[in-house]
Structures are given as structure tokens and as C-alpha cells.
Structure 1
């Protein structure tokens, strides 16, 4: 089945942007607020928002816990069910806000948190397929989501509410259509049928489940900065709660500006998207906002608050981008990687907002308190920018144990033959030949012992050398989903659950 790359990429950008836009419009805008009760509705919706973020964290913990016991399987209809539930809870949320049913709002938030996490993983898996050139499209999708927000937020009722209702359904439809077209066999995307393939995980669950290989250091920098941003934004909103809607709207405008600035270098000289550069731009916007509040007091809150709020939003985009990069390069399971990434984002959002409200409750809303908080936040961001900004670039793909051993042996041969260039070259060549011969012997024994197919052996050859799944797909001229399928079959036959276990088994097979 021929697939048009441009059409597939367009579906990816538009479909994922619809999901992001739904989150902004449903929980971070007045679109669903009943007329005449903006403040009370905002307060009720805030509880639902916090419940949804807590549900995201619980979902990630459940995924990790269940995956340790058995292989996870996500069926064809799981994602349609998630989209349908999001649409239904949107209707329930509107009704609950109108009658002031806080319990219903909280329940809707819990359901939304789980379902949006699942759909976020689905789109994350799509972005992790293919080469690194797809990564800038993550920013493009959020930019499009901001534009959708800005348009729909100013539409009259009931049209705006109807569009919000349809966004998750549209997102699912585009994902399902694109997923079916990406692979020649639908079983590589969806578990289907009554045979053994029905228990085969698709592209969301296949891959390595080693959470330790996630780039925790750069993620930690972004998470810490996002926490500070959300803390500052919460304090500012507590100081001017009657302007909360305008702060959210202004924050989305700021996000759109940052996204546009980050994409300008790509449009001019086709540079690779630099997470570190975007991180510095984002912190600069935050710093300008804090300074504006400190200098102009109350008059600076609308603009300064929007800058801080928007920067906090966009730091979450960068976390998603880092997770995408890591999933591509390390061949991680998208269900694991993106569940953890979304959980980290949600945790800092809840923690930052809750602590910000405590600061407001304990010390009051005086201008001096606001200046002190902004000053402390500015100082913290300054030290983070100076000391850790370079960490956001992400870690390069590390070498596997066999590769490191070969490097050490080759270096030793080079040193021993330093007096003769020809001798050194021959020594390195002989080491390479011996290493390849040993590799082939072990592969032959694995074929005999575990009954691996020819294609599985080809994939295994690259897996034990530390190659990522996208790299293997490029070499073998297949899709990343196909490589993930072979990887799952290899893990199952060898009875291992992670790449490190695979390496240990392979190196111990004498």
C-alpha cells in the first residue's frame, strides 16, 4: 500500500493539534463557562483540571506496575473509546458547571486525564516513528493548536462548545486513518484476529521498557523550570484572580510566539531544531514577565502574567519533544516513555499550582509579597539558565557493551602497534574480524536454540550492537513498526523483558 509522506505528516500534525487544542479549550478557557458565572465556573473547572492531572500520574504508575507483570495489549477500539469518553465528558462538564455539581466535574476530570493520556501516547508513538526530521512537527502541531484555541475561544455559543466536543473525535479519526495507511499489515498497528497475532502489541507497546535510559537530566531541567513557572503563574493568578481568563488567553498567545520563534531557523537555513535554544527563549520570556510585574506592580500583571503563564505552558511542549527524541533514538516503548513524560508534566503543574495558592493564602496578596516571589523566581531561573541550559539538548545515543569492549581492544591494539602504522592497522583489522566471527557464532547458536527466523536474526544483530529501532528500520528498508514487531517476537522467544537482559543473555551465550 503506497503512503504519501506529506499526507501522512499532515494528518499527524492536524490530528495531534486537535487533541492539544481540546485541552486548552476545555480546561484553560471560558468557552464552556456558563454565562454570568465566570468566577465560580472557573473555580469549579480548576478542580476538574487538577483531578485530570492527578489521573495522568496515576495512569503512568498503573502502566509501569502492570507492565512488570505481563505484556500490555491495546486493542483497536481502545482509542476510539477514549475519544468517545472525552467527548461525553465534555458534555457532562458543561452541564455540571451550569448546575454547580463539583463532584461530576471532578469525575469528568479523572476520566479525561486517563483518556487524554492514552491518546497522547498514540500521537507520541506516531512522532517517534521515522527519522529526526519529524521532530519539528511536534512544535508545529502545538502552534496549530494555539491558533485553533485563539479562533474557537472567540466564537459564540453553541458553536464553540460543539467544536470542542468534536475535537477528540476528529483527532482519533485522523490517527486511525493514518495508522491504517502506515503499515501494509494492520496487525502491526492494531492487535486483531483470533490467532497468535491477537496478543501481539502494536506500535504503542512494542519496544524497550527500560525507563532508566530516558534522558532524565535534561528532562529534570525542563521539569524544574516548568515547576517554577507554574508556581509563579499560580501566585500571579491568586493576586489577580478576576483576570484569570485573560491570563490564560495571553499565555496561549505567548506560546504561539515562542513556537514561531523556534521554527524560524528551520525555515531559513534548515537547521535541526535545538531544544536548548528554545529553552533559553522560553526562560527569557519568563524573566521579562517577572521583571514587568516587579517594575510596574499591578499594571504589569496582565502582560507579565501572560508571559509567565505562556512560558510555563511551552516548557511542557519541550518535555514532550525530549521524550519523542529519546523514544526515537533508544527504541523505547511509546506507552512507557510518553506516559512517564505526561505524568511528570502533570505532577509539576499540580504541585506548582497548589504551592502557589498556599503562598497566596499564607502571606496575602500584597504587592511586596508578589515582588519577593517574582524576585526569587527570577533568581532561580537565572541560575538554571546559566548552569543547566546545555543539558536540554539531550544525551547522544550511547554505545552498547560490545561496542565499548571493541573500542577498548582496538585502542589497545593501536597503542601496541604505535611504532608501526601497518602493524596497528592489521591488529585493528584482526580484532574486527574476530569480533564479527564471534558475533556470527553467537547468532547461529541463538537460531538453533530459540528458533529465530532469518528476519529476526537480522534485527537481533543490530539490537545487540545498541542500534535504535528507527536506525534498524532504515537499514532494513522497513517501517519502525515492523522492527518493533520483530523485537517483541525476539523478546518473547528469548524470554527477556528489556534490552539489557537481551545483551546479558547474548554475551553470556558462549
Structure 2
């Protein structure tokens, strides 16, 4: 029997379809809690990493900004490196006890800075640097936690959550930086505590138990791509140097504090525009080539021109550089979900080099800000320009090789699949069902990680243009990878591919 609507009785099929559509577009309360927590966490990280908010009297100089922020990013890179080598990473990011411990560590730095501001006492510099390192490690930990939480949202919702959370975080950054010192630091503490509280109410990752074999497979078959590592390292270095320049101008009162908040909002708006109008430009190789000429011009203005033109050039240049960083993080947020591997593993492995580059960039900015280093400013600009030009050559010759892992792994024997707990959501069951079959086919036919991503969309019946838009790669790349998939599987049509994947069972080897 049908149900009543304004036009009379609707058929059961129509009713079921309508319920499914509404369900697909509706976030649960726990998912909303996770997205809200991710927004507040993003705002707190941006405030600490790209503003002078947590500077004390002893560290509120351009040199000390570079050293403290460089220490923070170095600790973040170190934590990401440890996570990629840690076998119990999933338990680490899912343990409430560990999360509470890292929250306490994260609150140490802003808490001490607030006490210094109110009580006017000075903490030894050694301890301050230690607090910055601890804050960086805790920030990296919660980045992995949020990557793990986001994986439960699904592909399209991950994109939406990343974009809108980042845009709202930029607005929060602008609002907090507009507050007086003690009020801004208090707001920062509330951001950290609120994000943790919302995290506790968010859904856990659905891939921890069901995809352990995929994680082991990727760990055994993948390695860092020299080309991709170089590009991410250069991006990070440039971002660190220019961010240090902007933060120094803000601390001196040359630029208003709201500059950083406005910069992050601009990044979100540009990303939204490109994702809607020209999503293929967000492929890492293409977005690099499109923005590199602007980077070269900005570096020339920053390194060879005097004030105020170098100051005018710094914020737009930072927006361009952080757009590259944001694109990298967005791609990584999807990659773990598509490959059905540990999200925190994939995120930490892909973020290591760009975060390390930012640490080097902040340290370089600290050197340039010293009396001895001021004479090296032009040399530093020339070195960066040379790196960018070399980067242009690399990206032009190999535009589709911006890989998180090498594209041609050695075949290995797949480990047996562990038992998993049943899903309660029918849609999630179907989605996970196809992911596991694609993972089995990927191992059975020695497909690369990128080919495994494309295979998942091909099984869903998507065409090359749709896949290119979803993965932010060139359509030509998708077609080339599809041809390689067909060759390896010995097929000639998408329907044959679907039939083979459907026939896959856990533990198949052919």
C-alpha cells in the first residue's frame, strides 16, 4: 500500500526512493558533531600555525616567530613519520584515554601564554620551545584523528566537510584575531576544548577493522615517490617562508591581524570556484602549473622590491601557496577512503614532506630576519625562484606523476582477510562490499594504488570525466590508467571489468 502525499497516494517505490534521497542528504547528529569539531580544530591549528597569537614577550620577534613555528612544524612532521611506522596507529587515534592526554598537552602552550599575559612572568625559552614542540605533536595527532573521523562520512561528504569547515574556520580565525590579547587566547583555549568535546560525540571510523589487510598491503607495496616528495617539500618551504613574512608584518602592526583570516577565506572561495567551474584544474600537477607563474612574480616582489611592495605581495602569495597545501590535504582525505585503508596512515604518510618543508621554511625565515641574514634575503629569493623553475620543468615533463606513493609497486602476496563486524546501515554495507571487492581485484591483478581508486569508480559505472572531477586529476590520466587496468585484467569493456570485480571473494588471488 502506498503513502499519502499532496497529489494522492505514492507508490512504495517512490516512497522508498524519496526516503533514500533524504537520508543521503541528511547528516546525523554524530556526523554534525564531527564536522563542527573538525571546524573548531582547524581554526585552532590555523591560529597557532599562522599568526602571532601564542607569542610571548620573549618570542614576539620575527626571528623567534620563525624558530617557534619551525619547531612546531618539525614536531608535527616527526609525529607523522612515527605514525607511518607505528603498527598500532588505529588504536592510538581511537583511544579516548590517549585523546584526553593529547588534549592536555595541546592546552599547555596556550594556558602558559595566558598566564604569562595576565601575571606578567617569563618562562625560560627552553621550556617555551618544548611547549611549542608538544603543541605541534598534539596538533598532528588530532589531524590524524580528524582524518579518521571524516572517513565515516563518505566521499562527497568528505569534500563538503573539508571545504565548508575550512571556510568557517577562516572566519573564526579572523574573529579571534580581532579580539584583545587575553580574550583571544581564552577563545583559543575554548576552541581546543570544544573541538575535543565534539570529537568524543562523533562517529568512529568504519574502516579500522574491515580494512586492516588493505593497510598492510599498501604498506608493503608502496614507497615515497621522489618526484612527489620533492614537489611537496618545495611547496612547504615556500609556504613557511612567506607565512613567516606575513606573521612578522602582523606582529609589527604593518598588517592587520584579520589578514590571516581573510587569506584562509580566500583559499576556500578559490577552491570552491575551481571545484565547481574547473575541477580538473585541482589535479595536483595542473594546479601547480597554473599557479607557479604567480609564485615566481610574488617571490620577485618579496625578495627584490622594498617596502611597502614586498608587504603588499606577501598575503596574495600566501593565499596561492596555501591553496596548494589545502588541495594536497583534500586529496589525501579522499585517498584513504577510496583505497579502504587506515585513514590516519594515508594522511600522515602524504603530509610528512609538505609539513617538513614548512618547518624548513620557518627556520629559513628566522635566519633571514637576523641582522646577518638580512643580506641573504635576495639570495634566498633567488634560491626559491630556482627551485620553482626546476619545479616547473619537473611538472611539465611529468605532469601526472604527483604521487603520494610510487605507481608501480612490486607484487606481494596478500595477507588473509580478518573477520569484521556487520554494518547496520544498508548503504554502508553496499559501499563497503564494493570497496572490499575492488581491493581484492587490485591485489589480484597487481594494480597500483591510483588504479585501485579509478577501479572503484569504474565498477560504479562512472565515466572518465566524472572520475577525473572526483579525484582532481586530468581526464587524460584517467583514460591512461583505465587502459592499463584493462590490459592487466585482460578485458576490453567496462562491463567485463564489473563482472570480474563482482566475482571477487575475500582471499581470491586470481
Q: TM-score, normalised by structure 1?
A: 0.65
Which residue of the other structure, out of 290, 295, 320, is the alignment partner of 2:299? Answer: 290
Q: Deviations 1:347-370 (Å, cap 9, x if unpaired)?
A: 111123334555676664377546
Residues 61-460 of structure 1 correspond to what in structure 2 (within 5 A)? Answer: 61-67=81-87, 74-95=94-115, 99-137=122-160, 138-179=162-203, 208-209=215-216, 210-211=218-219, 212-213=221-222, 216=225, 219-220=228-229, 222-230=231-239, 232-233=241-242, 243=252, 246=255, 250=259, 252-267=261-276, 274-276=283-285, 278-280=287-289, 282-293=291-302, 296-358=305-367, 364-365=374-375, 369=379, 372-373=382-383, 375-376=385-386, 379-380=389-390, 382-384=392-394, 386-392=396-402
Which has the greater radius of gyration?
1
Report the Cα offset of residue 91 of structure 1: 0.2
Aligned mates of 2:90, 2:244 — CA distance in 1? 44
> SS at the partner of 2:330?
helix
Partner of 1:487: none
Partner of 2:480: none
Q: TM-score, normalised by structure 2?
A: 0.65
User: What residue is the counterpart of 1:60 in the other structure?
Assistant: 80
Give 5+ residue unaligned stretches, structure 1. Answer: 183-187, 190-200, 403-445, 476-502
Q: Deviations over 1:72-128 (max 9, x none)?
A: 684233223322331233202444575142122122222222222221111112333
CA offset at residue 168 of structure 1?
A: 1.8
Closer/same/farther in 2, CA of residues 25 and 356 from structure 1, 3 Å limit: closer
**Count of matched residue positions in the alignment of Structure 1 and Structure 2:** 417
Is the 1:57–1:347 Cα contact (8 Å) retained in structure 2? yes
Q: How far is the alpha carbon of 1:152 from its aligned partner?
A: 0.8
| Counterpart-to-counterpart distance in 2, 1:67 and 1:203 | 16
Residue 313 of structure 1: CA displacement? Answer: 3.2
The whole-number CA distance in structure 2 between the counterparts of 1:393 and 1:66 is 22
Change (3 A) 1:280 1:460: closer
Q: 3-state DSSP class of the match of 2:441?
A: coil
For 1:328 and 1:374, locate their aligned partners in 2 and report how far apart those are by CA, in whole Å.
35
**Aligned 8 A contact 1:399 1:466 in 2:** no
Bigger helix fraction: 1
